[in-house]
Structure 1
Amino acid sequence: MTHKHTGTCFCGAVEIEVTGKPEAMGYCHCDSCRSWSAGPVNAFTLWKPEKVKITKGAELISHFSKTKMSDRQFCAQCGGHLMTDHPTFGLIDVYAATIPDFAFAPGIHVNYAQTVHPMKDGLLKLKDFPAELGGSGEVMPE
């Protein structure tokens, strides 16, 4: 049985559905994610594009791309953040908070060199990104 999880933007005008299991889950500590999320760390769930579907309000989705690596998507009506398409990775980050009925189980920290909120949780801490995604793959101490 394939599991489906749904979520919405802040006002509920845009609905999103993810199917199956994500490719990875974790925390990003980069300056961009922290600024975008207005928090000290961003909880991510990475999905293959075919597992992410907008089920309502697609016409209300606005986009912002600071770099070619990230197409950040949000509701034009309420400003609620939904997801970030990472075309260079071939993955979409559906923010963990966007899909509240999904059991978030982080496995890694990325961009930990930029952290402003150290987290001692026993998870792998990468300086930037995994080598297979173009990063150094360098592990940092907790």
Structure 2
Amino acid sequence: MSAKPSFQGSCFCGAVQFTVKGTPNGMGYCHCESCRKWSAGPVNAFTLWEPEAISITAGADKISSFNKTPGSTRKWCSECGGHIMTEHPTMNLIDVFAASIPSLKFEPGIHVHYQESVLPIKDGLPKMKDMPSEAGGSGETMPE
């Protein structure tokens, strides 16, 4: 049996460090207004992990959080403000921001909340109107 791959990540200043093990349950781009405002960008690159795949290895006392809705707890470093992850308890998944795991090869497979897009991206990936049905969405796709 081979060991699961392990990837190191951190906030912007490095005060908060973490490890993710295994492979993400999914990777893609979110176009919702909340993610755009949170990331201060037109689209957010996400990687979804089961909670047990993530461990904080340094700076746990420097993690702050905010709940805009019961469906998400956004976490960041209180030293530098660098975004780290968003917990999604209703899906039992944690979105670790792709940019905070530099050694993980980002291989997006989907766009979610594309109906809210402000930056159309023509890359051949499925464009979900909101979310896949198995994640509580309509499951409807949109054209590029």
Pick the TM interval, shorter chain: over 0.9
TM-fit CA distance, 1:141: 0.4
1:119 is aligned to 2:121: yes
Task: Quote the Cα distance in structure 2 between the aligned partners of 1:39 and 1:100.
Answer: 18
> Segments of 4+ in structure 1 off by > 3 A?
none
The structure 1 residue matched to 2:141, chosen from 130, 139, 142, is: 139
Secondary structure of the structure 2 residue equivalent to 1:35:
helix
Structure 1 unaligned regions, length at least 5: none
Residue by residue over 1:52-81, the C-alpha shift from the partner in whole angstroms, topping out at 9 and shown as x without a partner, is 110000000000110001100000111000
Structure 2 unaligned regions, length at least 5: none
Secondary structure of the structure 1 residue equivalent to 2:52:
helix
Q: Which amino acid aligns with 1:13?
A: A
TM-fit CA distance, 1:2: 1.2
The aligned residue for residue 69 of structure 1 is 71
What is the number of residues matched between the two proteins? 142
The aligned residue for residue 19 of structure 2 is 17
Instruction: Give the TM-score normalised by the residue count of structure 2.
Output: 0.98
TM-fit CA distance, 1:16: 1.2
Instruction: Give the TM-score normalised by the residue count of structure 1.
Output: 0.99
Q: Share of identical aligned residues, percent? A: 62
Secondary structure of the structure 1 residue equivalent to 2:141:
coil
Secondary structure of the structure 2 residue equivalent to 1:71:
strand
The structure 1 residue matched to 2:34, chosen from 32, 35, 44, is: 32
Q: Which amino acid aligns with 2:4?
A: T
1:92 is aligned to 2:94: yes
Secondary structure of the structure 2 residue equivalent to 1:34:
helix
TM-fit CA distance, 1:96: 0.1
